[in-house]
Structures are given as C-alpha cells and as structure tokens.
C-alpha cells in the first residue's frame, strides 16, 4: 500500500504524512483493528463511506468526514473504542487520525483538505 499525504489547505498544515488507504472490503472492515495506536504522522483514508466504527480497536481516534469537494463536513474528536459514528449525510470519505490531531492543527468544519 502506498502511503498518501493529507493536507488541510485552509490551515496550511499536514494532517497525515503517511496515510494508508482502505480500499477493499477486507481492508475497510479491518481498518485500524489489531493496531496498538497511530503515531503522530499516520492516518487512514476510507473513501465512499458515511459512517465508521471503532469496534475491536484499542485506542481513540479523531475522525474527519469530507465531501467530494474535499470540504470537511463533520469532525469527531477522540472517538473511543467500541463505538459507531453517526451516519454523515453528504460524506464522500473519512480520514482517521491520532486522537488530538484535530485540536493540534486547529482543523475545523468547513476547512478544505487535499489527499496526495
């Protein structure tokens, strides 16, 4: 899997330097399960989804939902293990980040992101 970078264009900051992409049924289902955590530079991109879960995970994550234009439409900070996010109407994808990354980068709803 080739790691991608996720930029917050509005805040001119890097959200993830090494973001994997879950693009198969199995990789989407497994996501971050089995991992002990994410380091500050990591993330996971899941396209074509409007909801995620943290079942069987061992750590909290920040969750950034975005639309097809790359606009952030919902943020969930520090989503704990064994939870489901709400269904986010209009979401094209989600970026799962280490807990605290949204606060650290001052990322907000309405910001624009770019994935390279």
* Residue 67: strand, helix, or coil: coil
Q: How far is CA 61 from CA 18, 47, 69, in A?
A: 16, 17, 23
**pLDDT tier at 115, thresholds 50, 70, 90:** very high
The predicted-structure confidence for 32-45, as pLDDT tens digits, reads as follows: 767 788 989 999 99
Higher pLDDT, 22 or 49: 49
**pLDDT tier at 84, thresholds 50, 70, 90:** very high
Note the pLDDT of residue 3: 86
The predicted-structure confidence for 51-78, as pLDDT tens digits, reads as follows: 999 999 999 999 999 999 999 999 999 9
Cα 56 from chain centroid (whole Å) = 17
Every domain of the chain and the residues it spans: 4-115
pTM of the complete model: 0.92
CATH class of this structure's domain 4-115: mainly beta
């Amino acid at each position: 899997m080739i790691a991608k970078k996720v930029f917050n264009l509005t805040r001119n900051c890097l959200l993830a330097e090494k973001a994997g992409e879950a693009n198969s049924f199995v990789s989407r289902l497994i996501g971050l399960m089995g991992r002990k955590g994410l380091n500050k530079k990591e993330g996971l991109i899941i396209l074509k989804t409007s909801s995620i879960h943290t079942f069987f995970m061992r750590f909290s994550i920040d969750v950034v939902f975005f639309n097809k234009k790359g606009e952030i439409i919902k943020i969930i900070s520090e989503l704990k293990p064994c939870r489901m996010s709400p269904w986010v109407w209009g979401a094209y994808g989600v970026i799962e980040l280490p807990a605290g990354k949204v606060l650290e980068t001052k990322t907000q709803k309405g910001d624009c992101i770019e994935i390279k």
